[in-house]
């Protein structure tokens, strides 16, 4: 019996060692780097808010988004460009920051705002109508900055920079 236990413990330790070495050798998916650019939000009254946004342009970048981030500057955000106007479905899986999402048409006009998306939620957040872009900001920013439906985002990526 002791011999069987010793064999079992020895094999268990060997399996644990093998699994540890295997897991350490598997590359952790490094996040893609995001380019940044200035973006201006123009309110209905014509007043402006300047931001710096990271650009999520590729499918991998859009998938990664702001996942695992612990903080974001008040004047920062992320611009998702879907490359075409279509229905967009987002969620907050692996996202630690509560966010506001601005859904924009092909001209950069805000068509819908989802405020205070809940971190880690698997609930689907829809664009309501087809859109080309989404801007993610810290939760509460849309209200604090007085951004509303009809406001406009202006940037090089959107193609309407002045």
Residue 3 backbone phi and psi in degrees, to 5 = -65, -40
Of the two residues 33 and 28, the one the predictor is more confident about is 33
Write out pLDDT tens, residues 126-145.
999 999 999 999 999 999 99
CATH architecture, domain defined by 36-155? Sandwich (2.60)
Q: How many angstroms separate the CA atoms of 52 and 76, rounded?
A: 5
Question: What's the average model confidence in pLDDT over 84-111?
Answer: 97
Which two structure tokens, joined as six digits, stand for 40? Answer: 């201006």
Contact, 125 vs 117, CB < 8 A? Answer: yes
Q: How many angstroms separate the CA atoms of 25 and 38, rounded?
A: 39
Which two structure tokens, joined as six digits, stand for 155? Answer: 């940037």
Ranking 30-39, 56-65, 134-143 by mean pLDDT, the lowest is 30-39
Question: What's the average model confidence in pLDDT over 12-22?
Answer: 40
Closest of 85, 115, 123 to residue 99, by C-alpha: 115
Residue 76 backbone phi and psi in degrees, to 5 = -120, 165
Give me the residue spans of the domains in the chain.
Answer: 36-155
The HSE-up count of residue 6 (CA atoms within 13 Å, CB side) is: 3
Question: What's the average model confidence in pLDDT over 4-30?
Answer: 41
């Amino acid at each position: 019996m002791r011999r069987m236990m010793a064999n079992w413990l020895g094999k268990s330790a060997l399996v644990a060692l093998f699994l540890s070495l295997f897991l350490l050798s598997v590359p952790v998916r490094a996040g893609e780097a995001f380019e940044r650019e200035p973006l201006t939000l123009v309110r209905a009254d014509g007043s402006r808010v300047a931001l710096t946004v990271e650009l999520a342009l590729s499918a991998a970048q859009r998938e990664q988004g702001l996942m695992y981030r612990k903080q974001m500057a008040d004047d920062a955000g992320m611009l998702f460009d879907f490359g075409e106007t279509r229905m967009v479905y987002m969620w907050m899986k692996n996202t630690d920051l509560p966010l506001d999402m601005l859904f924009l048409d092909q001209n950069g006009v805000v068509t819908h705002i989802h405020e205070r998306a809940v971190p880690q939620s698997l609930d689907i957040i829809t664009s309501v109508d087809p859109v080309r872009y989404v801007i993610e900001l810290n939760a509460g920013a849309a209200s604090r900055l007085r951004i509303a439906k009809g406001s406009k985002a202006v940037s090089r990526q959107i193609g309407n920079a002045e």
